[in-house]
């Protein structure tokens, strides 16, 4: 908005100056006014876009179009990474998603700086972005050799015309070109800087009720230049388990401080349920049944994959197994371009669990459901089979998942079905924020990822 107003004022002043010249050239005036209105037209989309996206009080990882599937946002250097990059490092993030359609759309995007609670920051776009503030998604491809037709979209960013210049939490907003009110999806990501260092480890929870089931995250923040003057009011830390925003702890202040070091370690603090290793299945090939798949059928015109019935694991002993910490990746056997050749298949889940009480619901949960609970991943009880059942449309690849129960108070519980163990190999991400009072925004000054083993 501010960019458009600035440039509008600039061209108006320039036009007024030309028109006031005694030796007035009408052709020059016509050309100049034409340039002015072209500028207004080009910038209006950006202006409208800012008005459209700022209505969101809190940004989430959301899809606003029913035809959009398989949204992935990650560091372009590693397929299974969180969407985290370092400021001015030359690193890029990679956004991929599909639209189940045979017709492509012209899509644009913008980036929104957020505070620690994912609300839009109060600073102007010119303070956090270099360039026009709006980019286009140019890499658009049709699927081939698939039963399901879809359009695959791919974007690597930042780009020069939409480049963040400060650290912090960000949201990318994708919308239809010239129709910014038609938001397609939003995704959250992080841009870090190295003002502080983070040292930490994952240990078994101290003696008590969490001793057999919990994990404690112990860490310290090292400020080598001693730049943080008031850690109690300026520093905030967030611990997140397995990249799931709903599995996080926010720490408003350190537990112990000394010059150049802030400790976040204390008895009975920063404890997470260890949970269990994620269940998984592999649909990279539809020619044979991999582990945990009982049947693969082609029911014209689409493929169907039936998983083995799952059993609750709450009272089973812990069994170590390699997993993706709830994530998934896309792949198809012998594919040269896996994101265009991988097909969409109907995956059938079954859980051997008695009928739930009124107000209780069971969900298939993980990155495959955007770590959310909704109609797309809610199970229903089938009295004829005695199973809770769900069918999800998923792209070929390797998937982690688990089951969660939501009660009548809308509280979720994974432990009641999956169990919880201190030995589980979870990944914890630690984010250190610094509130810059002078510039009134939250900087992300430190980051560390730690794997429990």
Q: Please, what is the average pLDDT of the chain? A: 89
- What is the rounded distance in angstroms from the CA atom of residue 349 to the CA atom of residue 100? 22
Q: Which among 445, 450, 452 is positioned nearest to 237, based on CA atoms?
A: 445
* pLDDT category of residue 55 using cuts at 50, 70 and 90: low
pLDDT attached to residue 196: 96
pLDDT beyond 60 at 42: no
CA distance 187 to 189: 7
Comparing CA positions, the residue from 100, 197, 208, 204 lying closest to residue 147 is: 100
pLDDT number for residue 376: 96
Asked if 123 and 113 count as a contact pair (C-beta separation under 8 A), the reply is: yes
301 vs 44 pLDDT, higher one: 301
pLDDT value of residue 265: 86
Range of 16-25, 50-59, 65-74, 351-360 with top mean pLDDT? 65-74
DSSP assignment of 168-223: EEEEEEEEETTEEEEEEEEEEEEEE--SSEEEEEEEEPPSSTTTTTEEEEEEEEE-
Least confident of 196-210, 238-252, 256-270, 280-294: 256-270
Q: What is the mean pLDDT of residues 305-315?
A: 97
**Which pLDDT value is given to residue 227?**
82
Burial of 324 (0-12, 13-18, 19+ CB in 10 A): middle
Q: What tens digit of pLDDT does each residue of 92-143 get?
A: 999 999 999 999 999 999 999 999 999 999 999 999 999 989 999 999 999 9
437 Cβ contact list (under 8 Å, min separation 6): 234
Is the pLDDT at 6 greater than 50? The verdict is no
Do 318 and 309 contact (CB within 8 A), yes or no? no
Residue 13 predicted with pLDDT over 50? no
Of residues 331 and 37, more confidently modeled:
331
Residue 156 has pLDDT above 80, yes or no: yes
Residues 311-323 have a mean pLDDT of: 94
What integer pLDDT is reported at residue 213 of this predicted model?
Answer: 97
Please check the confidence at residue 20 and state whether its pLDDT lies above 80.
no
**If pLDDT is split at 50, 70 and 90, which confidence band does 424 have?**
very high
Q: What is the pLDDT of residue 215?
A: 97
Residue 337 in tokens: 């371009």
- CA 205 to chain centroid, in Å, comes to 29
pTM for this predicted structure: 0.87
- pLDDT for the residue 436: 86
Average pLDDT over residues 201-207: 93
Asked whether 293 and 397 are in contact (CB, 8 A), the reply is no
């Amino acid at each position: 908005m501010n960019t458009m107003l600035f440039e509008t004022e600039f061209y108006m002043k320039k036009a007024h100056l030309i028109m006031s010249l005694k030796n007035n050239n009408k052709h020059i005036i016509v050309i100049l006014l034409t340039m002015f209105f072209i500028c207004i037209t080009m910038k209006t989309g950006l202006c409208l876009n800012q008005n459209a996206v700022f209505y969101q009080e809190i940004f989430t990882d959301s899809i606003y179009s029913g035809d959009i599937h398989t949204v992935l946002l990650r560091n372009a250097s590693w397929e299974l990474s969180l969407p985290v990059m370092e400021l001015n490092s030359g690193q890029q993030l990679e956004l991929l998603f599909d639209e189940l359609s045979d017709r492509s759309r012209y899509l644009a995007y913008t980036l929104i700086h957020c505070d620690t609670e994912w609300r839009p920051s109060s600073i102007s776009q010119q303070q956090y972005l270099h360039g026009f503030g709006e980019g286009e998604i140019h890499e658009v491809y049709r699927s081939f050799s698939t039963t399901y037709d879809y359009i695959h979209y791919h974007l690597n960013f930042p780009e020069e015309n939409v480049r963040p210049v400060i650290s912090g939490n960000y949201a990318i907003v994708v919308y239809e070109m010239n129709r910014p009110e038609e938001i397609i999806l939003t995704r959250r990501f992080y841009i870090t800087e190295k003002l502080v260092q983070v040292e930490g480890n994952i240990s078994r929870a101290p003696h008590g009720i969490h001793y057999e089931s919990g994990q404690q995250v112990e860490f310290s923040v090292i400020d080598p230049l001693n730049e943080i003057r008031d850690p109690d009011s300026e520093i905030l830390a967030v611990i997140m388990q397995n990249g799931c925003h709903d599995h996080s702890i926010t720490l408003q202040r350190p537990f112990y401080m000394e010059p150049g070091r802030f400790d976040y370690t204390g008895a009975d603090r920063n404890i997470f349920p260890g949970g269990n290793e994620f269940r998984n299945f592999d649909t990279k090939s539809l020619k044979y049944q991999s582990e945990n798949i009982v049947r693969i059928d082609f029911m014209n015109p689409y493929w169907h994959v039936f998983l083995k019935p799952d059993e609750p694991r709450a009272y089973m002993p812990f069994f170590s197994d390699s997993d993706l910490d709830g994530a998934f990746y896309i792949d198809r056997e012998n594919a040269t371009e896996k994101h265009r050749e991988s097909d969409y298949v109907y995956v059938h889940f079954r859980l051997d669990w008695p009928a739930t009480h009124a107000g209780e619901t069971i969900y298939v949960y993980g990155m495959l459901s955007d770590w959310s609970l909704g109609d797309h991943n809610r199970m229903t009880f089938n009295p004829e089979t005695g199973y809770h059942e769900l069918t999800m449309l998923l792209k070929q690849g390797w998937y982690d998942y688990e089951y969660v129960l939501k009660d009548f108070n809308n509280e979720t519980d994974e432990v009641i079905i999956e169990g919880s163990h201190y030995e589980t190999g979870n990944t914890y991400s630690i984010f250190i924020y610094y509130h810059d009072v002078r510039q009134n925004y939250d900087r992300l000054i430190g980051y560390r990822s730690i794997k429990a083993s």
